[in-house]
Amino acid sequence: MDKLIIDGGQALKGVIRISGSKNAALPVLFAALMADGDVILENVPGLRDIHTTLKLLTLLGCDSRFRGEYVEVRAGDLVPEAPYDLVRTMRASVLCLGPLLAKLGRARVALPGGCAIGSRPVDLHLRALEQMGARFDLDSGYIMGTCQRLKGAHIIFDFPTVGGTENLLMAASLADGETVLENSAREPEVVDLANFLNACGARITGQGTSVITIKGVSSLKGCRYRVMSDRIEAGTYMVAGAITQGDLVLSNCPFEELEAVVAKLREMGVHIEKEKSGIRVKPNGQLNCVDLVTLPYPGFPTDMQAQIMALMCVADGSGMIKETIFENRFMHALELIRMGARIKLSGQTAMIRGGARLTGAPVMASDLRASASLVLAGLAARGRTEVRRIYHLDRGYESMEQKLSAVGARISREKE
């Protein structure tokens, strides 16, 4: 297992290129299952979750090739089974359920278990697919789904679930008749998936709002599509610039999609502007803490909560973070405390007393964004930080140590 060694205290200066979005590329890859022709995707990040998805697509009967930032997928004779060994390493595997049911009328997909950031059930996905005519049984830890051709339905989600909205967008694209999804997720990655499906011949409108209408079509064709850039990776490097009192330019960077994050960082005193070459991030002297609540898009993203907590630890004053999307998503706080942070946890709320002088320490990463938060703290800390179990980081951040060292960080990877 690898670990990252960081000698903190360097102001980061220079340009970081943001990669394609993991959370947009994953559903788009699963949607490629449904296309009758070749799908060519651009701006796909070289991440472990992408490789896992390509492995799963191979087992499901697709040919794929990954070169540079390009992925080519050609669906062949599909096999409707997603085995536990792959699903347990990546919960997003459940996104093959909608496409398989729509295309084959059956699917056997391992039920993803709990994960470090909470129980994360898929009940909303299943209930909505049932409304379209699917039947589900649980057999030896597998969800067994069957249906005739799925039928359009009027679905009101109890919660704007991102994965649930994506599964339904895919399923409804090949269904018989019109589906209306109410209280659906408005995340930019959902919009990207809808745009990709439309490029394949689907008839989706309303993406980006909470009511999405999908008119089913009888088949989808292949297409060439550029996946959006990663707004969470971009937000993470914005915090890296701010926490080291640096001066960074982020190229290939989404901006409008980061509005809530940019607004909070500006409130903390970070100067963020769109320039010709990219998004420039430069703190205006000492920063101050703020209060924030994580919410579905367009609210502040839960996937940026851990990183902004690291920044608040070194800012002036005190602030409160309330996590409303996932239970148990404060594990990074306990590790930050080991580096000198002053954080009090109470249920889903964290109180941060800023002004901490962080010192390097050996810390343990527990999930993807928690790992990023510890790297950020390490960049700001005095002395050496060792971030262990970084396989989480490799799931979601492409070449993180190379990108950071190119702008002046002293960071390297070692075998544990």
CB 332 within 8 A of CB 374: yes
| Complex with ligand UD1: residue 299 or 408, whichever CB lies closer | 299
* b/e map 55-73, b = 16+ CB within 10 Å: ebbeebbbebeeeebebbb
| Complex with ligand UD1: residue 212 or 407, whichever CB lies closer | 212
Catalytic residue among 115, 223, 289, 313: 115
Residues contacting residue 140 through CB under 8 Å, at least 6 positions apart: none
| Complex with ligand UD1: residue 162 or 336, whichever CB lies closer | 162
For the CB of residue 167, give the shortest distance to ligand UD1 in the complex, in Å.
9
For the CB of residue 77, give the shortest distance to ligand UD1 in the complex, in Å.
27
| Complex with ligand UD1: residue 386 or 394, whichever CB lies closer | 394
Q: At what angle do helices 22-32 and 188-199 cross, to 10 degrees?
A: 30
| Rounded Cα gap, residues 261 and 235, in angstroms | 7
For the CB of residue 318, give the shortest distance to ligand UD1 in the complex, in Å.
26
What is the binding site for ligand UD1 (CB under 6 A)? Answer: 23, 26, 92, 118, 120-125, 159, 161-164, 189, 301-303, 325-326
| Rounded Cα gap, residues 120 and 30, in angstroms | 20
- Position with the least CB separation from ligand UD1: 163
For the CB of residue 146, give the shortest distance to ligand UD1 in the complex, in Å.
19
| Rounded Cα gap, residues 329 and 118, in angstroms | 7
| Complex with ligand UD1: residue 303 or 398, whichever CB lies closer | 303
For the CB of residue 2, give the shortest distance to ligand UD1 in the complex, in Å.
22
CB 44 within 8 A of CB 228: no
- The verdict on whether 253 is a catalytic residue reads no
Structure tokens at 58: 């191979």
> Chain-centre distance of CA 402, in angstroms?
21
For the CB of residue 124, give the shortest distance to ligand UD1 in the complex, in Å.
3
> Chain-centre distance of CA 86, in angstroms?
18
Q: At what angle do helices 305-314 and 331-338 cross, to 10 degrees?
A: 30
Backbone φ and ψ for 375, nearest 5 degrees, come out as -65, -45
| Complex with ligand UD1: residue 164 or 378, whichever CB lies closer | 164
For the CB of residue 125, give the shortest distance to ligand UD1 in the complex, in Å.
5
Q: At what angle do helices 368-380 and 331-338 cross, to 10 degrees?
A: 20
Break the chain down into helix, strand, coil percent, rounded to 5: 35, 30, 35
| Rounded Cα gap, residues 231 and 191, in angstroms | 13
| Complex with ligand UD1: residue 227 or 381, whichever CB lies closer | 227
Q: At what angle do helices 368-380 and 305-314 cross, to 10 degrees?
A: 20
The order of strands in the sheet holding 292-293 is 292-293, 318-322, 349-353, 342-346
Please give the positions annotated as active site.
115
